[in-house]
Copies of this chain bind each other. A is one copy, B any other.
Amino acid sequence: VSTWINGRRRTTIDARDRGLLYGDGVFETMRVRGRRVRLLDFHLERLLEGCRRLAIHAPRAALLRREIAACAARRPEAVLKLIVTRGPGERGYRPTGAEPATRILTLQPLASAARPLPPVRVRMCKTPIGSNPSLAGLKTLNRLESVLARSEWRDARVWEGLMGDLDGHLVCGTMSNLFLRRGSTLMTPLLDRCGVAGVMRRWVLAQAPNLRLRSWQGRFAWDTIAEAEEVFMTNAVAGIVSVALIERGQSRVKLAQTETADRLRARLEQL
């Protein structure tokens, strides 16, 4: 694992950084393939959108591109994580507006969780996702809900956990987004109240017309899974991951089809 902080090789950050004090920042977890970052434009767009909505002074895109390219070039396959925090601050929640953002780049080897052998097993988590339209869709450093949900199981055969909101709607996985297909309709939860709008989710939604699928973002409950013909999950590092089994307490839903995920994966490989 190698780390660069504000462009320099460092391993520590200022203990007054608001990223630590309040989770006041955003991040991207990117897949390096062939020494380049996959879906880089989408990652940068979401990062900068997050900075805009949180009123963080975002680093210039050209600077980020340069640093990311130099970092990615060091390994053929890797995970590249970029954190941007509001930077060190005074005491108190209110930003002065003058904080210089901190950027932290970390290059790490691909972990096994990043290379699942689909179709995978998934479980429904008890930890709910709280709704807050102000933060919905963003990948902020406030990730305790994901930490608690991911702490619910240790069985390495279960790849991911599904999370729902307090009204019982499915929202996303702890580290991925959810897609259901029935016929030629591709459904994914609407993320206007909570959840992280993944870059791979965005890419899949953009591909849908090419696969003659009608995509639909909405609210749906657990029961909808039983009506799905195919379920897959997406994240920027692992890509498109078919789901064979979903567990929720004692009930289990088995899924046999992987056709859409297979076609999407083939397209993704061509990028």
Contacts and interface: CB of A to CB of B under 8 A. Distances in A.
Contacts of A132: 127-130, 145, 166
Sorting the interface of chain A by its residue count into under 10, 10 to 19, 20 to 34 or 35 or more gives 35 or more
A93 B146 contact: yes
Contacts of A246: none
A111 B111 CA distance: 45
A194 interface: yes
B150 A104 contact: no
Contact of A94 (B11, B108, B151): B151
Contacts of A95: 147, 151
Given A151-B94, A175-B93, A19 B22 contact: no
A79 B54 contact: no
A20 B108 contact: no
A109 B209 CA distance: 60
A229 B135 CA distance: 35
A24 B128 contact: no
A127 B91 CA distance: 21
Contacts of A23: 22-23, 141-144
Contacts of A113: 92
A225 to B, nearest CB: 23
Contacts of A12: 12-15
Given A1-B16, A131-B166, 13 more contacts: A13-B13, A20-B20, A22-B146, A23-B23, A54-B144, A55-B151, A93-B147, A93-B149, A94-B147, A95-B147, A128-B133, A130-B135, A134-B148
Interface of A: 1, 3, 5, 10-24, 27, 54-55, 79, 81, 83, 85, 91-95, 104, 106, 108, 111, 113, 127-135, 140-151, 154, 166, 174-175, 193-194
